[in-house]
Structure 1
Amino acid sequence: MKLHFYGAAAGVTGSHTVLDAGDIRVGVDAGLFQGRDSDRNRGGFGHDPRSLGALILTHAHVDHSGRIPLLVKEGFSGEVYSTPATEDLCEIMLKDSAYLMKEEADRESRHPDQRNGEPRPPLYTDEDVSYALRRFKPVDYYKVQDIGGASARFLDAGHIIGSAMVELSVGGRRLLFTGDMGRRGAPFLRDPDRVEEADWLVIESTYGNRDHGDMADRGKRLMEVILETIDRGGNVVIPAFAVGRTQEIIYELNHYAERGRLEGVKTFVDSPMAISATEIYSRHPEYFDEETLRLLSSGDNPLDFPGIEYVRSREESKAINDMKDAHIIISASGMCTGGRVVHHLAQNIGRRESTVLFIGYQAEGTTGRMLLDGAKKIRMMNRDWNVRARVEYLDAFSAHVGRTGLLNWLRSFKEFPRQVFINHGEPEASRSFAEAIRSEFDAEVVVPQAGGKYDLK
């Protein structure tokens, strides 16, 4: 058997791996490349999608799911297996992705003088998304699913609602993909499942070389940034992923708003996709941890509080920018690569009294990464903007487990996997994590290269 790494190898985005077991070829994830690697989305998958017997999807974030419509468009005709919540989320996220692609293509056609080369059509359309969604087949956690010559089982990854590790069994051997793993003690979700046995392991390394801030203090630090900004008369713009991060910010703000700490300060959730995702969270309590279930049973909805407004229409979104009173805006996209947050940045990036607050990973080449790296000027909406706003980063909101958490999770194995493959990380993070595993577990560790093919020993 061989593993082929076609994405998220020597990088964080574009997750796509294929297990070639001779009689069956199974794909795991088919995500969009983002940031500096985004042009790779137009370079094909590196293999013939028609050869895949099935696709297993770990979770709905577009760097894992965003090329599924393209995979189907290029000939994949098998089933897409995911958890029920992942299927629900993909319906809104993939449609949003198609919309943003169309918007970008329209923008390029309107500004031919600012374009290099011929205009490029969207990777896929809303119709392509609808066709791809028909291939989805939901599978609950822990249920063994036959996929023709192999079987798959989803375990709880604790990253976002419905996120899963994938255990593939072929010929009595087990290959485990962690997908993106969440942190213990995060709001809403149960902690990631512990695993005791696997013959081979593919593990993420987004934060393989560092840890996060203390989760217990993140609400306090969030409020400090907000209140300091409000005192200056500025606005707080929080670029946030619509699924997972937005809901966690609302959860933390809820605690303070219900105690009057945000009295008179409006909080706008300006992202139709985030609103839809929040509704999906509300209708899938079976994924929640005990603390969240207790809150709900007591009548306290952690996704609602005095002063919060969910904004769907463009008119409502534009009206936010006419507000004179200081306010909070939570909007997508999380890396500032498109969406409504770009317009709110345009209104605030030049204001010294305002704050742009990042709470999630920013891929290299994205506007968000440039701002975090201290850029004094950024390009958005076909023009340059001077950066005068305060730029802050709270890493305690990351939905990815850090280095210490990853190593603690690995210590649960009673018999350590014979081979470990480290993907989904920038080169420095993956290499550092690989050395830590070799040192502690004396294991054979591989850091795959993009397009690399490896024998499972």
Structure 2
Amino acid sequence: MSTVDKQLEDVRATIDEEVPNHISISDVTYEGPELVIYTRDPKEFAADGDLVRRLASKLRKRITVRPDPDVLTRPETAEERIREIIPEDAGVSGLQFLADTGEVLIEAEKPGRVIGRRGETLREITKAVGWTPDVVRTPPIESPTVSNVRDFLTQERDDRRDILERVGRQIHRDPMSSEEWVRVTTLGGCREVGRAAYIISTADTRILVDCGDKPGERTEQPYLDVPEAIGSGASSLDAVVLTHAHLDHAALVPLLFEHGYDGPIYCTEPTRDLLGLMTLDYIGRADAAGRKRPYETEMVREAVKHCIPLEYGDVTDIAPDVKLTLHNAGHVLGSSVVHFHIGDGLYNVAFSGDIHYDNTRLFDGAVNEFPRVETLVLESTYGGRNDYQTDQDDSERKLKRLVSEAADREGTVFVPVHAVGRAQELMVVLEEAMREGDVPEMPVYLDGMIWEATAVHTTYPDYLRDDVKDRIHDADRNPFLADEFTPVEDGDDRAAIAEREEASVVLAPPSMLTDGPARTWLGHLAPDPDSTLAFVDYQAKGTLGKRIQRGADEVRIDGDSLSVEMRVETIDGFSGHADRQGLENFVKTMHPRPEKVLCVDGDESATQDLSSGLYHDYNVRTFTPENLETFRFV
């Protein structure tokens, strides 16, 4: 008998002691980080609202209860009863019964009404029909991404269950070594912006944090082929943890599966969906530019299938000696500060990913309170001594001024922008400005995957600030459904729109003009002195955006010379990154304050300036790693 099977026997014995005699337990198994209990008496389990909580506290594990398939009410009868129980204003749009797991998937416009106060309605459903309800939100904006991910995971549920059972046994195995040490190895993102990738390892476990590309330098990938990563085989990795779905942190995650990785990816649910959206777009842009694909679409599907979504604040075992907790990073939808608790109180490491310390229009500021943190791996994008951004109000005033001036000239304000995060931030500002009469009403064209990314945002309003969440819940007040927003359906529309003698705003990715729709728009609008190019995102060295931002009035695109006659402006207060003051405040107010800080994900001067400032002002040991350095902490 394996140690995991013996452990499950002990867990089963504890459950049998705690559960009343009239409730039968037919099986106990691990699925990923969760302990799954199968019972022939799901209604009795549901009747005792505190039973699962007591078991979770006793066993110190996340618990899911599932009914044996042969005790379930027939789906036709169950659906009728479920619809009677759920309040009519919940807006149930569909039910799907999954007999192999005893779950009923309920899609509703208002999931909270399906869940009920403290889960009361869910328990009522199980008491009535035996099925275990799982609730998802009906997207207010139809989203092929969300629908495809949900349909795919349903179709692949047998494979996914096998994956989760295998991962569960790996997590709960006995430690293989009595040694205690913690190391972080940098595979990319050091003294540069992009290709973020880091390995955190112990004597028993090896975890990859992020796996991105480098903007403007598509041939530069993280150093994945070193022994610390997948040079000795991708199966040597126990897990991948993803801070967020931007390409400089996530573009190459599917590549791991081409190299044989078959383990879990831990992230938030919106990050999972955006990972699928953005990596498929990444492949499409490579095709359009005539570049070799970094991986095939099948690898994107594998990555999505291996994702294990976690909610903010949930402490989760991901290895015998590692617990993971994700916290809001304030950067983009679902972005996370990643906290690792290693061993039995041995050491704690936090990776900031990309953070925004202050509140924005969309998100609350990054969380920086933890039970313990000895080492912080901190982004430094705006870590330079002069990297201070204008505040949000000033930035909004500048944007409104540019839009009003464009209206006077019947010109276009063209904003190359991240499709995920900054685009939606600007949409909220523009919708309010036009609704309140601060700027004239005009069409706002949304190109590339901005509209689809916006649909994903409306699917997960609980990750947004309360005021935006409340407006999304009210269809008549949803800011993203304003009449001014017009998706660009066809690339051929761009030339026709650019030639119109009307004021307009164009939002198009990517933010650094490296390729894609933004480059096409630049070609159409650059010769027009009545139009304005407004940069709102960070422009990395070596990108076309950086050259224009620095004053280049003539650039080459695909071998052709292009004269830049349009006005060029920078509005830095919309960045999803904390500026120098925000980064310092994140560390200054962090509880507890870390002993060591590794400054990463910024160019060389930014990382060194931030490192020096934190050392002198806050008395913490700081480092500016180079790629392929390893730090041992214990």
Regarding TM over 0.5, the answer is yes
The answer to whether the aligner puts 1:208 opposite 2:390 as a matched pair is no
Q: Percent identity?
A: 27
SS at match of 1:147: strand
Q: Name the counterpart of 2:219.
A: 39
The answer to whether the aligner puts 1:124 opposite 2:295 as a matched pair is yes
Q: Name the counterpart of 2:619.
A: 442
The answer to whether the aligner puts 1:195 opposite 2:369 as a matched pair is yes
The 8 Å contact of residues 250 and 304 in structure 1, kept in 2 or not, is answered as no
- Following TM superposition, by how much is the alpha carbon of 1:419 offset from its aligned partner in structure 2, in angstroms? 1.7
The answer to whether the aligner puts 1:3 opposite 2:184 as a matched pair is yes
The 8 Å contact of residues 360 and 395 in structure 1, kept in 2 or not, is answered as yes
The 8 Å contact of residues 263 and 307 in structure 1, kept in 2 or not, is answered as no
Q: 1:150-165 to 2 correspondence within 5 Å?
A: 150-165=322-337
SS at match of 2:396: helix
- Per-residue CA deviation, residues 333-352 of structure 1 (Å, 9 max, x unaligned), is 11111111111110111122
CA distance in 1, matches of 2:499, 2:567: 21
The answer to whether the aligner puts 1:276 opposite 2:452 as a matched pair is yes
Q: Give 2:451's aligned amino acid.
A: I
SS at match of 1:223: helix
- Per-residue CA deviation, residues 296-318 of structure 1 (Å, 9 max, x unaligned), is 45642222334221223334444
CA distance in 2, matches of 1:89, 1:39: 23
TM-score by length of 1: 0.92
Q: Give 2:463's aligned amino acid.
A: Y
- Following TM superposition, by how much is the alpha carbon of 1:261 offset from its aligned partner in structure 2, in angstroms? 4.5
Q: Name the counterpart of 1:352.
A: 529
41-50 or 13-22: bigger deviation = 41-50
Cα RMSD (Å): 1.8
The 8 Å contact of residues 6 and 45 in structure 1, kept in 2 or not, is answered as no
Q: Name the counterpart of 1:133.
A: 304
Q: 1:171-190 to 2 correspondence within 5 Å?
A: 171=343, 172=345, 173-190=347-364
CA distance in 2, matches of 1:386, 1:233: 20
The 8 Å contact of residues 161 and 287 in structure 1, kept in 2 or not, is answered as yes
Select the residue among 53, 72, 78 that pairs with 2:238.
53
CA distance in 2, matches of 1:450, 1:303: 41
The 8 Å contact of residues 99 and 126 in structure 1, kept in 2 or not, is answered as no
359-368 or 253-262: bigger deviation = 253-262
- Following TM superposition, by how much is the alpha carbon of 1:414 offset from its aligned partner in structure 2, in angstroms? 4.4
Q: Give 2:316's aligned amino acid.
A: Q
SS at match of 2:299: helix
The answer to whether the aligner puts 1:424 opposite 2:601 as a matched pair is yes
The 8 Å contact of residues 315 and 323 in structure 2, kept in 1 or not, is answered as yes
Where does the alignment leave 5 or more consecutive residues of structure 2 unmatched? Answer: 1-181
Select the residue among 461, 468, 484 that pairs with 1:292.
468
SS at match of 1:421: strand
CA distance in 2, matches of 1:77, 1:297: 38
The 8 Å contact of residues 462 and 469 in structure 2, kept in 1 or not, is answered as no
- Per-residue CA deviation, residues 22-47 of structure 1 (Å, 9 max, x unaligned), is 21110000011122x43213975443
The 8 Å contact of residues 406 and 504 in structure 2, kept in 1 or not, is answered as no
The 8 Å contact of residues 407 and 440 in structure 2, kept in 1 or not, is answered as no
The 8 Å contact of residues 15 and 31 in structure 1, kept in 2 or not, is answered as yes
CA distance in 1, matches of 2:440, 2:572: 26
SS at match of 1:347: helix
SS at match of 1:364: coil
- Following TM superposition, by how much is the alpha carbon of 1:328 offset from its aligned partner in structure 2, in angstroms? 1.3
- Per-residue CA deviation, residues 258-288 of structure 1 (Å, 9 max, x unaligned), is 13444452211112x1111101111111112
The 8 Å contact of residues 235 and 326 in structure 1, kept in 2 or not, is answered as yes
CA distance in 2, matches of 1:392, 1:221: 10
Q: Name the counterpart of 1:101.
A: 286
Greater RCO, 1 or 2 (C-alpha within 8 Å, sep 6+): 1
227-236 or 134-143: bigger deviation = 227-236
CA distance in 2, matches of 1:415, 1:297: 37
The 8 Å contact of residues 212 and 222 in structure 2, kept in 1 or not, is answered as no
CA distance in 2, matches of 1:323, 1:186: 33
The 8 Å contact of residues 42 and 123 in structure 1, kept in 2 or not, is answered as no
SS at match of 1:127: helix
CA distance in 2, matches of 1:51, 1:318: 50
Q: 1:310-325 to 2 correspondence within 5 Å?
A: 310-325=487-502
- Per-residue CA deviation, residues 53-100 of structure 1 (Å, 9 max, x unaligned), is 110000010100000111221222211110001001111111101111
Q: Name the counterpart of 1:114.
A: none
- Per-residue CA deviation, residues 125-159 of structure 1 (Å, 9 max, x unaligned), is 22322222222111111112222221211011111
The answer to whether the aligner puts 1:24 opposite 2:189 as a matched pair is no
Q: Give 1:52's aligned amino acid.
A: L
Select the residue among 336, 340, 345 that pairs with 2:513.
336
Bigger CA radius of gyration: 2
The 8 Å contact of residues 195 and 413 in structure 1, kept in 2 or not, is answered as yes
TM-score by length of 2: 0.67
66-75 or 128-137: bigger deviation = 128-137
The answer to whether the aligner puts 1:305 opposite 2:479 as a matched pair is no
- Per-residue CA deviation, residues 205-243 of structure 1 (Å, 9 max, x unaligned), is 111122210112222110111222332332211101000
The 8 Å contact of residues 2 and 454 in structure 1, kept in 2 or not, is answered as yes
CA distance in 2, matches of 1:432, 1:97: 33
Select the residue among 255, 272, 292 that pairs with 1:70.
255
Q: Give 1:403's aligned amino acid.
A: R
Q: Give 1:290's aligned amino acid.
A: D
CA distance in 2, matches of 1:264, 1:53: 53
The 8 Å contact of residues 268 and 310 in structure 2, kept in 1 or not, is answered as yes
- Per-residue CA deviation, residues 180-210 of structure 1 (Å, 9 max, x unaligned), is 1014120121221122430111111111122
Cα 1:289–1:236 change in 2 (3 A) is: same
Q: Give 2:363's aligned amino acid.
A: L
CA distance in 2, matches of 1:422, 1:223: 35
Count of residue pairs the alignment pairs up = 441
- Per-residue CA deviation, residues 387-431 of structure 1 (Å, 9 max, x unaligned), is 111111000101111111222221233443222111011111111
